[in-house]
Structure 1
Amino acid sequence: MKATKSALLVGVGGQGAILTAKVLVNGLMKAGYDVKMSEVHGMSQRGGSVSTQVHWGEKVYSPVIGKGAADIIVAFEKMEAVRYADYLKPDGVAVINDYEIASSSIAAGLCEYPDGCLEAMQQHFRCHVLKAGEIAEQLGNAKCMNIVLFGSMAKALGMDDIDWEAVIAETVPPKFRELNLRAYRAGHDAVQL
């Protein structure tokens, strides 16, 4: 087995970050890795920030990822990428959904959505930016955006040795299985290495 790796999945409540982390954990465990996962919901039911940390390797003692230690950040919303950027290793990779969700203060008119989120990330990190929401809508259901992002993450990390399609088929509800398999393939194809 390879050295310990870590992923930080960040988004806004309702975007599917936790289901995505469960797909990741299930696949890694099937591949024989020791895996630890931690999730922080915060005010997620009110549109607040959600973060999930996943650590895997031969032996892992904690799911907690310190600042500057994540191998990858998967941001389901672009402002969340910036919010958690200090957790990414200098040579880490970010998969960022080019998607905006107005926070409660933005929606109330107290401030504006910040410009330059993607550019700020691209200035400091290797980034794969995609419009996962649009890809999901083209597939017929915007809610599979999370699995589109998962496919991009799997490719960005070079984790093609795991049968992710089988893991997805076992993890998602049967009525959404085919849609999520197509979402995984579309996200995987969206990343150019």
Structure 2
Amino acid sequence: MSDTKNVILAGVGGQGTILISKIMTNGLIRAGYDVKQSEIHGMAQRGGSVSTQVRWGSRVYGPVFGEGEADILIALERMEAVRYAPFLKPTGIAVINDYAMDTLTTASGLEEYPAGCVEAMQKEFATIVLNAEEIAAELGNPKCMNVVQFGACCDVLGTPEIDWEEVVAETVPEKFRELNRKAFRAGRAAAKEKAQA
């Protein structure tokens, strides 16, 4: 039986989805896992959907998996959580940033942003929901929202042997290390608090 784990990360262009997958990949490789990563940028420059897939285990044969195969979905935006929900196994876990970003069509008034995205996910899957943007803003920089979100998901990755905070610090530019350490810790603490509630 395969020990491969599959994670899909989803967000909107500019949210830092690819940075999170890079942090994850760096940590897993250093821990000795065979790791494969793929990226789908979409219309990233225009606020379009962005997703990446990360797979790891003792032996991984390809970077891409299909619908119903993800163990974990990490969504940086709530509508993106719903968009990529078909990739989750029924037993999968969704880590959702309760945050909405206007798309081109919603910003222009051509369509309305859908209501009930988080609630729909909670009905179908085990979820961890937090407002990473709010937490990042409290730290003084909303741009570290992605690392807050990564902190929230790190315990469900099932890799306690990896010092994820150190991996974050080594992956981000030096001038942002302390901010991202704080962001990681804040996200991890928020997820633990939600789990105990």
TM class by smaller structure: over 0.9
1:106-134 C-alpha deviation (Å, 9 max, x unpaired): 11111100011001000000000000000
**Which letter maps to 1:57?**
G
**What letter matches 2:157 in structure 1?**
L
Instruction: Find the counterpart in structure 1 of residue 24 from structure 2.
Output: 24
Aligned twin of 1:187: 187
- Give the equivalent residue in structure 2 for 1:35: 35
Aligned to 2:8: 8
Instruction: Among all aligned residue pairs of Structure 1 and Structure 2, give the percentage whose two residues are the same amino acid.
Output: 61
Aligned counterparts of 1:74 and 1:113: Cα–Cα separation in 2: 20
Secondary structure of the structure 1 residue equivalent to 2:52: strand
Runs of 4+ in structure 1 deviating by more than 3 angstroms, as ranges, are none
Task: Spell out, residue by residue over 1:116-168, the C-alpha distance to the aligned partner (whole angstroms, 9 max, x if none).
Answer: 10010000000000000000011111011000111111022333320112111
Structure 2 runs not aligned, ≥5 long? none
SS state at 1:55 partner: strand
User: What's the TM-score once normalised by structure 1's chain length?
Assistant: 0.97
Amino acid at match of 2:68: G
| Structure 1 Cα separation of the partners of residues 81 and 43 of structure 2 | 18
- 1:171 aligns to what? 171
1:42-61 superposed matches below 5 A: 42-61=42-61
Q: In structure 1, how many angstroms separate the alpha carbons of the residues matched to 2:134 and 2:87?
A: 27
1:64-103 aligned within 5 A? 64-103=64-103
Number of residue pairs matched by the alignment: 192
1:109 aligned residue: 109
CA contact 1:156–1:191 (8 Å) conserved in 2:
no
Instruction: Tell me the amino acid that sits aligned with residue 151 of structure 1.
Output: G
Distance 2:164 2:156 in 1: 14
1:140 aligns with 140
CA distance in 2, matches of 1:85, 1:129: 14
Q: What is the alpha-carbon root mean square deviation over aligned residues? A: 1.0
TM-score by length of 2: 0.95
SS where residue 3 of structure 1 aligns?
coil
